[in-house]
Structure 1
């Protein structure tokens, strides 16, 4: 989720996620050699109430690691690097005392560092050079990974479109039981590729915002607005325009992903972002607060992260076989833990999962998050 829609985590949420976030957001952030011996440039982004100006504000084209730190602000917890309205990389949920990083290969040009909530929420970041960023050494496995990930995203959204329409058709027909049965299955296709959707400006908030994520509840749209109508209000009166807009927004997403391209590091960054989604809303029960279908989303986030990892795995295994093996084992641990809550093709109502078992799920994600955060620096 984009944090310009701030999330108000309660005491339970904070208790469950603080240890996980410390691992998921951690990382050395040191400059080092990129694949093939290229030197990575480190840019420090210090979050404060005033802003998040990158230091240095100008670097040469090539691989760049952004190290995001928070020394004491509750207002600003995210930094995003944007270009032409699209998020190229970000690190969310950097609360006081935490840090995190993301890596990208950047071409010459002018970029924007955005930190929602700050007094000056945008700063200019410049990449210099006479031409394109130096190309990474030819690596057919990485080239294949990015193309295959594009194809995966396109296929997930292709499945999302009819699944959402079936859900919205039930909403338009006023069929509450049918709409409830179709809500979680439709969302799995969205949750598996959510970092991609987040990169397209306001599209993710329009599709997936919760009520505390919007300034004006009258402008709240998307899956969770209809979720509230189904499970809390128990009435679909007035929801036809919401269903129509949701169909239209998902169609826009399909159009956007058709031409999107990705860097290997973006696959790794996205996988880490999906684990962050688990830690900040799925494990805590905040995401699907009316339907309690959080485990569906949890599983979809993990599946999307695992897909990105599996596509990068051949290149990662060649560079750091121990890390690749560790990640494979820890993905297996998380998916095995989730399997305990399956009932056929569905998952149990999350409100029935005790706090100690939620902690076990969080611990498994915690063990996965830290090594996964190392991958982008290996493939940038």
Structure 2
């Protein structure tokens, strides 16, 4: 039985004018290269917005080099963005942590800047904390020895202290300073430790194990369909299996080389029909939607099924890094925006929006596991959950009985709405990554 391409729903005549999405300049490699490193993302300008969202009213700089980076001269001019604000010089070496604030007897509320000077011999992490509860309002990471960095803050009334964590030394808390008045404090966040993240990570690994059972069953059905020459059933079962795999996004790095075998892609300038080493769901997708015969796809189906079963067998010996859990919730949606909403990974099925909806499932599962940690740390959690629901419900409107509207067939208005949902999700997921960034507490 030869495969015919599935019919594509027509665009809404009333909303015509949409254009095919632009392709990203760089293509992912076939061995899992599509996963991004959110450790790199954290040290871009986005990092400032992350902590602003965490602390709601208190601005914090976590990115090395942001706003001009560290100044070697403590007397050097302030960053232009902060020249109109009051500045207070603070020493943050272990022996003098917090020295300089309150010395003039005039701590005050409002927007201001602390010029943090590390006079110690090693790099230092600095937190502005509530000394009674240990919650932090702002942070600076990786302040090099002998340099100064600005910590812009908006302070409410209350008690504060600087906590200085120099490498290879115990954490030191400076003197408590009382800021007078009746101005409400912004929300603070308690640090998250590796020990906090171990239970949700173990629970997530159990969830992944259950998905692997589903995956093996689906790849087995897909292989049976192709072996029997039923390509219509193969297209249906291909989508079911692929969506199961796409829900497991936080575990991809743990899968190692198996990810490339199961869900690999090819470079933009390579013909998928002749790509060496191109295997897995997307290779089969290309064949199913480009008229390949069942006989020509049997080897690919067997490779995929064997890889899925081996991954299931090997999973019991794998361990995920708990420190990555919060990062992955954001990363999954970021990757979906980069590769699914651009149709970069459409090899003929036109089901990128189905994949994007499955990716939201994957991010949601991480949030569910992290909920005990986030419920009193992220005041925007309920809104985030609602946004995930709304985005997913909208994506599902493009499912017409198992046939999905391809990204390139979206009208301009539809495309803008999808993009808006993903931008909103990324903005709201950024605090989750920042809150779950592992911090020392001693």
TM-score normalised to structure 2 length: 0.54
Separation (CA, whole Å) in 2 of partners of 1:59 and 1:233? 60
**Equivalent residue, structure 2, for 1:12:** 22
**Equivalent residue, structure 1, for 2:285:** 227
Structure 1 residues 265, 359: CA separation in 2 closer, same or farther (over 3 Å shift)? farther
**Equivalent residue, structure 2, for 1:119:** none
Structure 1 residues 44, 240: CA separation in 2 closer, same or farther (over 3 Å shift)? farther
Secondary structure of residue in 1 paired with 2:294:
coil
Q: Given the alignment, which residue of 306, 311, 317 partners 1:248?
A: 306
Structure 1 residues 323, 200: CA separation in 2 closer, same or farther (over 3 Å shift)? same
Q: Given the alignment, which residue of 395, 399, 404 partners 1:348?
A: 404
Structure 1 residues 289, 359: CA separation in 2 closer, same or farther (over 3 Å shift)? farther
Per-residue CA deviations over 1:13-49 (Å, capped at 9, x if unaligned) read 359xxxxx9x9983239999x9xxxxxxx79699xxx
Separation (CA, whole Å) in 2 of partners of 1:282 and 1:219? 22
TM-score normalised to structure 1 length: 0.63
Map 1:279-298 → 2, pairs under 5 A: 279-298=337-356
Secondary structure of residue in 2 paired with 1:368:
helix
Separation (CA, whole Å) in 2 of partners of 1:212 and 1:266? 28
Q: CA deviation at 1:281?
A: 1.7
**Equivalent residue, structure 2, for 1:157:** 212
Structure 1 residues 31, 301: CA separation in 2 closer, same or farther (over 3 Å shift)? closer
Runs of 4+ in 1 over 4 A off after TM superposition: 29-32, 42-46, 213-216
Q: Given the alignment, which residue of 248, 254, 259 partners 1:193?
A: 248
Instruction: Name stretches of at least 5 consecutive residues in structure 2 with no aligned partner.
Output: 1-19, 26-37, 55-61, 67-121, 125-139, 143-166, 170-191
Instruction: Name stretches of at least 5 consecutive residues in structure 1 with no aligned partner.
Output: 1-9, 16-20, 35-41, 47-57, 68-126, 130-134
Separation (CA, whole Å) in 2 of partners of 1:224 and 1:324? 34
Separation (CA, whole Å) in 1 of partners of 2:393 and 2:369? 21
Separation (CA, whole Å) in 1 of partners of 2:269 and 2:251? 20
RMSD, aligned CA = 4.1
Q: Given the alignment, which residue of 301, 311, 317 partners 1:259?
A: 317
Structure 1 residues 287, 45: CA separation in 2 closer, same or farther (over 3 Å shift)? farther
**Equivalent residue, structure 1, for 2:327:** 269
Separation (CA, whole Å) in 2 of partners of 1:45 and 1:234? 52
More helix by share: 1
Separation (CA, whole Å) in 1 of partners of 2:268 and 2:385? 34
1:370 aligns with 2:380: no
Matched-pair contact (CA < 8 Å) for 2:194–2:322: no
Q: Given the alignment, which residue of 27, 34, 41 partners 2:47?
A: 27
Map 1:69-108 → 2, pairs under 5 A: none
Matched-pair contact (CA < 8 Å) for 2:250–2:325: no
Per-residue CA deviations over 1:245-290 (Å, capped at 9, x if unaligned) read 1111112221333233335442222222210221112112222230
Structure 1 residues 287, 30: CA separation in 2 closer, same or farther (over 3 Å shift)? closer
Structure 1 residues 261, 201: CA separation in 2 closer, same or farther (over 3 Å shift)? closer
Higher radius of gyration, 1 or 2: 2
Map 1:310-349 → 2, pairs under 5 A: 310-320=368-378, 322-343=379-400, 346=402, 348-349=404-405
**Equivalent residue, structure 2, for 1:123:** none
Aligned residues: 281
Structure 1 residues 31, 272: CA separation in 2 closer, same or farther (over 3 Å shift)? closer
Q: Given the alignment, which residue of 236, 260, 269 partners 1:205?
A: 260
Separation (CA, whole Å) in 1 of partners of 2:287 and 2:300? 11
Structure 1 residues 257, 240: CA separation in 2 closer, same or farther (over 3 Å shift)? same
Separation (CA, whole Å) in 1 of partners of 2:297 and 2:203? 37
Separation (CA, whole Å) in 2 of partners of 1:342 and 1:31? 37
